[in-house]
């Protein structure tokens, strides 16, 4: 790609952590919007049957005729399941609760771990219209999350600044290692981002110190503060950048996008 400010298209990142409520969906939406605001073309793939990313970006349930389910299980082309959002440069493949049966339906399918990989590569023209594809994973290390890790170049791990935050990480790292050994040798860890950070709270500081001493450079310098504007934005069906661009949350996600971009440019150079 001739534009040096952009990574080669598309960089595919799975946003994963098997704990629920740690900020996966919030990070997917707002990092996606922040990258879009910097001129990147971003596609979000909602891989969670709860469909929170879809709802948070204003895709009503009745408008989800073609979803991740059809993409994975019915061989419908990527181009047909993508929908634009109100944010320029940000599109989404929505999800519905239908996706919750995918795990069981796929058990006897030989290619069960490669469905998303195939969907993104078979129709390369559709996916190569993007600079970044962010996959919002479900709160589990199930077959859907494995599909995301097989399809992705890297995994971005939101870590809630809470007691026990680091406990689930070893299991997540084990799954990443298994995927590397079996299906995706090149899978990297993009980084760990601390979310819902409260600078006045000793616990947040403790979790940050533990994360940095255990994980070193894997932890992003940027931390995402706990910010009420971040939690309000989804009910207005937009990212926090559109909802309140001057909020602490919006500024933190812009900074995270910048850090991600500079890491990736370094990796390419």
List interacting residues with ligand ADP (CB under 6 A). Answer: 20-26, 52, 139, 195-196, 224, 226-227, 230-231, 249
Please say which residue, 7 or 253, places its beta carbon nearer to ligand ADP: 253
Q: Which does 195 bind (CB under 5 to 8 A by kind): ligand ADP, Mg ion, none?
A: ligand ADP
- Residue 19 CB, nearest distance to ligand ADP (Å)? 7
Q: Which does 41 bind (CB under 5 to 8 A by kind): ligand ADP, Mg ion, none?
A: none
Q: How many CB atoms lie within 10 A of CB 73?
A: 16
Rounded Cα–Cα distance for residues 84 and 41 (Å): 11
Q: Which does 196 bind (CB under 5 to 8 A by kind): ligand ADP, Mg ion, none?
A: ligand ADP
Contact 140, 51 (CB under 8 A): no
Q: Which does 30 bind (CB under 5 to 8 A by kind): ligand ADP, Mg ion, none?
A: none
- Residue 169 CB, nearest distance to Mg ion (Å)? 18
- Residue 196 CB, nearest distance to ligand ADP (Å)? 5
Rounded Cα–Cα distance for residues 168 and 174 (Å): 10
- Residue 226 CB, nearest distance to ligand ADP (Å)? 4
Please say which residue, 131 or 162, places its beta carbon nearer to ligand ADP: 162
Residue number with the shortest CB distance to Mg ion? Answer: 25
Chain residues binding Mg ion by CB under 5 A are 24-25, 52
Q: Which does 84 bind (CB under 5 to 8 A by kind): Mg ion, ligand ADP, none?
A: none
Burial class (CB in 10 A: 0-12, 13-18, 19+), 62: exposed
Please say which residue, 15 or 42, places its beta carbon nearer to Mg ion: 15
Q: Which does 168 bind (CB under 5 to 8 A by kind): ligand ADP, Mg ion, none?
A: none
Q: What is the largest CA-CA distance in the chain?
A: 51
- Residue 23 CB, nearest distance to ligand ADP (Å)? 4
Place of tokens 């944010």: 87
């Amino acid at each position: 790609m001739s534009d040096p400010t952009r990574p080669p298209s598309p960089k595919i990142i799975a946003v994963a952590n098997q704990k629920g409520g740690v900020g996966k969906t919030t990070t997917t939406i707002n990092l996606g919007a922040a990258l879009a605001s910097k001129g990147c073309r971003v596609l979000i793939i909602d891989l969670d049957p709860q469909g929170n990313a879809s709802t948070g970006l204003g895709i009503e349930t009745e408008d989800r005729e073609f979803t991740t389910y059809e993409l994975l299980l019915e061989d419908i082309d990527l181009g047909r399941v993508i929908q634009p959002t109100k944010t320029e440069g940000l599109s989404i493949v929505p999800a519905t609760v239908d996706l919750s049966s995918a795990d069981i339906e796929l058990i006897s399918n030989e290619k069960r771990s490669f469905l998303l990989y195939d969907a993104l590569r078979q129709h390369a023209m559709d996916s190569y219209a993007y600079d970044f594809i962010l996959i919002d994973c479900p709160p589990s290390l199930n077959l859907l999350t494995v599909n995301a890790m097989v399809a992705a170049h890297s995994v971005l791990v939101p870590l809630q600044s809470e007691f026990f935050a680091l406990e689930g990480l070893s299991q997540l790292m084990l799954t990443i290692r298994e995927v590397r050994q079996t299906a995706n040798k090149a899978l990297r860890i993009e980084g760990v981002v601390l979310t819902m950070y409260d600078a006045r709270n000793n616990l947040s500081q403790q979790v940050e110190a533990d994360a940095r001493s255990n994980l070193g450079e894997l932890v992003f310098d940027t931390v995402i503060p706990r910010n009420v504007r971040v939690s309000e934005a989804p009910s207005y069906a937009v990212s926090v950048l559109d909802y309140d661009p001057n909020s602490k949350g919006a500024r933190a996600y812009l900074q995270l996008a910048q850090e991600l971009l500079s890491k990736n440019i370094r990796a390419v150079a």
